[in-house]
Structure 1
Amino acid sequence: MRLSSILCFILLGFSMQAQLLDSKPSNFTRADSLRGSLRPERSHFDVLKYNLDISLDIKNKSIQGFNEITAKVLKEQRFMQLDLFKNMQIDSVIYQGRTLAYEREGNAFFIDFEKKLPAGKQIVFSVYYRGKPKVAVNAPWDGGFIFSKDKNGNPWVSVAVQGTGASLWYPNKDHLSDEPESARIHVSVPNGLMNVSNGRLVGKKAISPDLTRWSWEVKNPINNYNIILNVGDYTLIKDEYKGLDLHYYVLSYNEDKARQHFKEVKPMMDCFYEKFGAYPFIEDSYKLVETPYLGMEHQSAVAYGNQFSNGYLGRDLSGTGVGLKWDFITIHESAHEWFGNSISASDIADLWIHEAFTTYAESIYVECRWGKEDALKYLYGIRANINNQSPIIGTYGVNHEGSGDMYYKGANMLNTLRSIIDDDKKWWALLKAFSLNFKHQVSNTQEVVAFFEAHTSVEVSPIFLQYLNYPDLPELQIKEKQGKLFGRWVADVPNFSMPIRLGNQQKNKVFDLNTQWQTIDFDLSLDEIGYPRAEYYIRFKRIKK
């Protein structure tokens, strides 16, 4: 497609998006802006590394320690905003051997470096802190720590903070747009327990008669909310896939069960390697870590709590039976390593980039294992979970997620796009190119849509815009007049157009329809004409007078 056409549709997207934002919730607070916006005190520096070192007091449900932050100054600035929940106490901020002043404002705090830091300078400073972090009521759907016990009575502790924010338990620049290029996580826990964090284990050291310090290193960019601790009576199961280390940390009494159940990982890797490219974090290994909550996509330490069962805690989210052939948590959360962890949204309003592609990856795994018919059946079944009541894209700059339809509607939008392209060889090549071209990048809706626009012969920007920014589906209307069929689209996006395959099981062909009535040259009656419902997620209306 010509660049002028691409820019036209992208500008249309910006324009319509701006109009739509006027109708979105406007009761955002100063705290929402502090958390969600890139103010000068935030945007003037780029985080390069976190070196987090904490001690966990399980009995008192508290932590204490520091985060040593390495950052590059991008623009001359004296003040820096970081984030740490207000129930956590900051003891000091140390830079070049000096204690710096800071001011608190809710969950944000502003460090005074005493004079403007010059652009291009690399700085290293530490924030010392302590406190009792928020405890989750229903993890992972609400953020917080989970203090539990295994069936032998041993402590079993973890944390999940997506959406709520990593600043719930450690000081950081809590915005999706800025990922540290690497990280070290040191967690000291009572002897007899193990801590499992992201990346690879690089050290284990007794630091007192009662505590052991477990040190982990991540060599790839990582989302703040993905940085994790998992503490329990773990045993390690080792395996390997095409040079990739597969490590499974499970409670000691579940070792035999896990060895059998996690055999699914290798066929999953076969599928995802073929469709998305190699695992994006080979240097950091792939891990499944048993957790006291259902699951989360913690990079290179995927949280697993599906009780070694197929489906979603034994249930099929599609209601078709297809979802009971595989373990939902293993497949979904592992797919996030490609979409969400490798390719990340720069604002939580664009979280569909994480969830739509990952939910669609579930059907891809089904297709790899059991064929396209089952994949389409699964995608059609999960439509029952779609509400179509609010936009998938949230409000930018205020830490606002869009609708939960980003999962199931988002997946069906992508499957509709596959049907529109109408060439599976091109579709799989496009999806893999997207995964590889955006690898280890923080992106946004405009960049993602522009990529798909530039690599297809169909103008897809208005299609993305309709599905992402409006609750209603595009409606295909068909009418019959004087023995002829006519069709048009009714949509919120002006001049919306989309090709669709019409006909019946015996004969069909593609028609490129828009918002104007057009002749459908087909020798079928109004009652006979239809479309492959599992392949396109639309509304369909026959107009009879």
Structure 2
Amino acid sequence: MRMNALFMPLAALLLGAADLPGPGEPALTPQTARSGGPVDPEQAKLAFDAADLRFEVFPAEERIAGVATLTFTARAPLARLLVDLDRNLPVSSIMIDGAVLPASAWANPDGKLTITLPNRLAAGGRVVARIAYGGTPHVAVKAPWDDGFVWAKTPNGRPWVATTAEGNGCDLFWPCLDFPTGRPGVATLHITVPAGLKAPSNGKLLGVDTLADGRTTWNWRVKHPTTYGIALNIGPYEQLSGDYKSRFGNTIPLFYWYLPGEEAQARRLFAEFAPTLDFFESEIGPYPFGDEKLGVVETPHKGMEHQTINAYGNGYTKAPEGFDWLFQHEFAHEWFGNQLSARDWDDFWLHEGYATYMQPFYGLWREGDARYATMLDDERNKITDLRPMVSGASRTEEDVYRIDRGGPGQDIYYKGSWMLHSLRWLIGDRAFGEVTRLAVYGRSDPKPGNFTPHFLTSADYQAIVARVTGKDYGWFFDVYLRQAVLPDLLSERSGGMLNLHWVAPGGRAFPMPVAVRIAGRTVRLAMTDGTGRIAVPAGAHVVIDPNARVLRRSAAVEAYQAWRDAQKAR
């Protein structure tokens, strides 16, 4: 009933709206369109303790109303709060520590809501801001490749609503700190939807309240959510549920919300949850959010790694590898993205490279070497080598994704995956597993409850490799992360010898070992100074890197890509 009273004035106003927004509307300011990049110095002073987020969603009008209660602790003295919020969602009132502010105390001309505090806050001081807002949120053109609300209909004409925010950020529908380290310690969500609809969301369900007119409010709580990982999903869902007995001794609730009429397909997908979870727990470590849930929801867009409520829109597509690639990829992000988070978007390969590598790695775990090699070969043909994967400067998410802005684009997926494949061969399975656990959990002995989300940079990851192996692999990361061009392995047979020589971009040292098969016998050459020699009997057949363990330049792949691109351009 309090929700009813809270939203009634804005709800009545919105019901009078005539025109619905189209894809890409309303337009975003450059401030709202960007997510991440250099952190505003005043926002850097804020530790984000908690967010209590109340939403009411009006599918018929394609509008929302919200009240966000945000709790911060000051790391340094500050006189105002700066939070990110799309100006298309105008603020109607703000309270600071229970006191109503005059409208003159805040402004939001470009998407960064500036709130002047009644009193200067000392370092260590705490402040609670209650922000009431609402309006027409930005509509996605083609989610999840762009962001915003997706207002759709189910096959039988019922409302079907979803949000995505990875590229443009959380400020599309709630006031937040829109950069990777801007996570709140805890977020509580109260989502009010029309009668007959459900609202699965992040974290643990606290309960569902039914209002007098049949609307329901779904109450959720999630710890340490990624800012872009908070999601609204609304529809006439049906639900599958079960429990998974983890190898770590805890019990994890499993949930899948799907559209009516799809039970048979839904059950087949749901059957993949447990074996996929077992793979990740056996090869990486404990599911990071086992005390909340493993949640998946069917969405009118392809998919996204929304923490504990991964979006799934793959249409139950079959694939030769025998598992749903999209479910598996988004689920991988619970470890690589939601638990291990890049400190800056410049290090986005830590999310996508690892999640992409987990596909062939899962194929290896399920079926063995042939499946692993087949899946990796498909990824190899998608590497472009147009830009370095890491620039060394703070970047927005779009700066990384867009090649026209100097970003690596899809190489954070496929080149990142192949780099990890090469690293695993270079340092060995045991060391690679230890590196991955330290990167994900910040410790080598993860158990349920003894870790929290872990922020990392590429330099941090490189340091972890050095710590585990006792060796400096700066040469490896300098070439694969910080250079666009792949190393080239030159070979020459002369005088009964095979001579090998690495040519790396900029003349860099590249002492990458390589396997050579000679007349059916395979040896590993150390290539200590970037060169190697081995005797080859006359007439012996030689295969260099017979199991394709090393990411290197391939003239055949380059020729294929040029032909493929020319065919597409016709």
Give the TM-score normalised by the residue count of structure 2: 0.83
State which of 500, 506, 512 in structure 2 corresponds to 1:498: 512
Confirm whether residue 52 of structure 1 aligns to residue 53 of structure 2.
yes
Higher RCO (C-alpha under 8 Å, 6+ residues apart): 1
**Cα displacement (A) at 1:395:** 6.6
Q: Which stretch shifts more, 400-409 or 474-483? A: 474-483
Aligned position for 1:227: 230
**Cα displacement (A) at 1:416:** 0.6
Aligned position for 1:20: none
Aligned position for 2:101: 99
Aligned position for 1:171: 175
Q: Distance in 1 between matches of 2:197 and 2:519?
A: 61
Equivalent residues of 1:90, 1:129 under 8 A apart: yes
Change (3 A) 1:434 1:65: closer
Name the SS of the counterpart of 1:307 in structure 2: coil
Change (3 A) 1:338 1:30: closer
- Encode CA deviations 1:274-295: one digit per residue, 9 max, x unaligned: 0111110011111111111111
State which of 293, 296, 301 in structure 2 corresponds to 1:293: 301
Change (3 A) 1:398 1:115: farther
Aligned position for 1:431: 436
Change (3 A) 1:508 1:519: same
**Cα displacement (A) at 1:456:** 1.8
Aligned position for 1:464: 477
- Encode CA deviations 1:330-388: one digit per residue, 9 max, x unaligned: 11011110100100011111111100111111112111111122112211122122211
Confirm whether residue 349 of structure 1 aligns to residue 346 of structure 2.
yes
**Cα displacement (A) at 1:481:** 4.7
Aligned position for 2:417: 411
**Cα displacement (A) at 1:107:** 1.9
Equivalent residues of 1:54, 1:187 under 8 A apart: yes
Q: Which amino acid aligns with 1:347?
A: D
Aligned position for 2:564: none
Change (3 A) 1:346 1:256: same
Aligned position for 2:552: 538
Aligned position for 2:281: 273
Q: Distance in 1 between matches of 2:485 and 2:460?
A: 24
Gaps of 5+ in 1: 1-28, 312-320
Name the SS of the counterpart of 2:208 in structure 1: strand
Aligned position for 1:450: 463
Q: Which amino acid aligns with 1:498?
A: M
Aligned position for 2:454: 441
Equivalent residues of 2:519, 2:542 under 8 A apart: no
- Encode CA deviations 1:269-325: one digit per residue, 9 max, x unaligned: 1111101111100111111111111111111101111112233xxxxxxxxx43xx2
**Cα displacement (A) at 1:149:** 0.8
Q: Which stretch shifts more, 171-180 or 115-124? A: 115-124
Change (3 A) 1:436 1:33: closer
Aligned position for 2:535: 522
Name the SS of the counterpart of 2:281 in structure 1: helix
Q: Distance in 1 between matches of 2:74 and 2:382?
A: 45
Equivalent residues of 1:290, 1:304 under 8 A apart: yes
Q: Which amino acid aligns with 1:539?
A: R
Q: Distance in 1 between matches of 2:431 and 2:527?
A: 22
Confirm whether residue 393 of structure 1 aligns to residue 390 of structure 2.
yes
Name the SS of the counterpart of 2:358 in structure 1: helix
Aligned position for 1:256: 264
Q: Distance in 2 between matches of 1:301 and 1:375?
A: 28
Q: Which stretch shifts more, 467-476 or 255-264? A: 255-264
Q: Which amino acid aligns with 2:291?
A: E
Within a 5 Å distance, the mapping from 1:130-279 to structure 2 comes to 130-218=134-222, 220-242=223-245, 243-279=251-287
Equivalent residues of 1:185, 1:217 under 8 A apart: yes
Aligned position for 1:372: 369
Aligned position for 2:76: 75
CA RMSD of aligned residues (A): 2.3
Q: Which stretch shifts more, 406-415 or 81-90? A: 81-90
Change (3 A) 1:419 1:379: same
Aligned position for 2:332: 335
Q: Would you say how many aligned residue pairs link Structure 1 and Structure 2? A: 500
Q: Distance in 2 between matches of 1:45 and 1:341?
A: 21
**Cα displacement (A) at 1:67:** 1.0
Change (3 A) 1:451 1:35: closer
Equivalent residues of 1:412, 1:537 under 8 A apart: yes
**Cα displacement (A) at 1:30:** 7.8
**Cα displacement (A) at 1:77:** 1.5
Equivalent pairs: percent with the same residue?
30
Q: Distance in 1 between matches of 2:318 and 2:433?
A: 27
- Encode CA deviations 1:191-238: one digit per residue, 9 max, x unaligned: 1101111012112223451522111111x2111110011100111211
Gaps of 5+ in 2: 1-29, 246-250, 401-406, 444-451, 557-570
Change (3 A) 1:509 1:540: farther
Change (3 A) 1:429 1:447: closer
Change (3 A) 1:169 1:504: farther
